[in-house]
Structure 1
């Protein structure tokens, strides 16, 4: 993986058609300098996928990124989610569905997003991080915007890394 400090920009994009087409149009030299944060959304509805299929989105991300690293997050906007995404957001068993989905796509250069919510006790988050650090070199964290104590959120994640 290219050193993250060499990447100069991290656009946050939903995996909607227009945004993916925009990234697809960038030159290879530009793509080599960015670390996109993809918020995974459902695909367009079709007769084969009436709820939209997230695997179509992953295929498109793979085409755009090739072997370049990217952060993969899950969109939580009700307009863009489907039952597949809702299942991936399920925190039970250490976000086991999210971890399973990431492992299906392990051949891509994914940096998984750790999901944190203000009301969490971190047991499920710590379980996810302990499992994810085995298969992924780097994890990303999106923190709530109104934090009073960042250490409260980051410490449980850091503990998992220190145990490695």
Structure 2
């Protein structure tokens, strides 16, 4: 049984973080790969190639189970992804895409839902969803519904009803309730909303497998309630959120999920605005050291990190990169590289933490 689901977009930084996990940790977690357009070779493929995004995911998780999903972020979508959202013939394009991976025994596909079709014609929506579910269940042992909090509870109940009509066994469904970005000190409010949804769904449909996901990592550590210029510390709110929800449902399987300590919405860092920073995720907190290039940049930040009494290595690739940088030999000087370092340490830490639960 998996205890941790990191949500990972197939962007370079996120894939690098997962790819550098130890094989033991990779088999311990159930990654959800959110397929995005591939940004490499933009000259020849200006839209990006979906096959490259899939290839990245499959290469990163060579033997373990994985969830496959499609991104909904406009700047990461291309025409190939849009075609996979098409509801025609029971989401035939998406079902064929999963089939063509030829490793359906390792894939838990997400169930695609066309919200516009549901709003216009619930009956047509029901027919296409049921058809999709039946086709996916024939190929895969587990299906996944990823639902954010923008879906009204009663609408979610209706959609799950459609899905259950198509399933041969309701135990083959995993529901991920995704709170997306949550601010500091908001876990209680989100926990109340999510718990109410889980109770209603489990009462009506007797579902037993859920995951609760969120990310409290900010767009900028200089945002309110996070940190200061040179250093800072803040709580990983999603850990608290999961604990508050899971303690209410001892008879259900409530899996911990997060965005691998990355802000849920991708954004480009403008040239000259990035201050070199080394982030260190612990089980429940993150601390960082941040120094401008003229003040020593990543090397000084890494040296301060190693000397910090809070620093604890979990033996990950990310920890190795901090050690190397502290010796004045950093392997990367880009924001993307150090995002990978942070995310890699975090996933290792949370895999070890949840393993003990």
TM-score (norm 1): 0.89
2:135 corresponds in structure 1 to 131
Aligned-pair distance for 1:163? 7.8
1:110 corresponds in structure 2 to 107
Deviations 1:99-139 (A, max 9, x none): 11111103251111002355522221111001111111110
**RMSD across aligned C-alpha pairs, in angstroms?**
1.8
Counting strand residues as a fraction of each chain, which structure ranks higher?
2
Contact kept in structure 1, 2:27 and 2:65, CA below 8 Å: no
Deviations 1:18-44 (A, max 9, x none): 000000111111111111111100101
1:16 aligns with 2:11: yes
Q: Report runs of 4+ in structure 1 exceeding 6 Å deviation.
A: none
| Residue-pair matches, total | 159
Match runs of 1:45-124 below 5 Å? 45-46=40-41, 47-107=43-103, 109-118=106-115, 120=118, 121=122, 122-124=126-128
2:152 corresponds in structure 1 to 147
Q: Secondary structure at the match of 2:8?
A: strand
Q: Secondary structure at the match of 1:140?
A: strand
Give the structure with higher Rg (CA): 2
1-structure distance, mates of 2:147, 2:159: 8
Deviations 1:128-153 (A, max 9, x none): 00111111111000124133224312
Stretches of structure 2 that go unaligned for 5 or more consecutive residues are 171-357
Q: Secondary structure at the match of 1:18?
A: helix
Stretches of structure 1 that go unaligned for 5 or more consecutive residues are 1-5
2-structure distance, mates of 1:144, 1:94: 22
2-structure distance, mates of 1:107, 1:116: 23
Contact kept in structure 2, 1:102 and 1:112, CA below 8 Å: yes
Deviations 1:54-104 (A, max 9, x none): 111111111111121111000011100111001011111111111111111
1:28 aligns with 2:23: yes
Contact kept in structure 2, 1:116 and 1:141, CA below 8 Å: no
Q: Secondary structure at the match of 1:143?
A: strand
TM-score (norm 2): 0.42
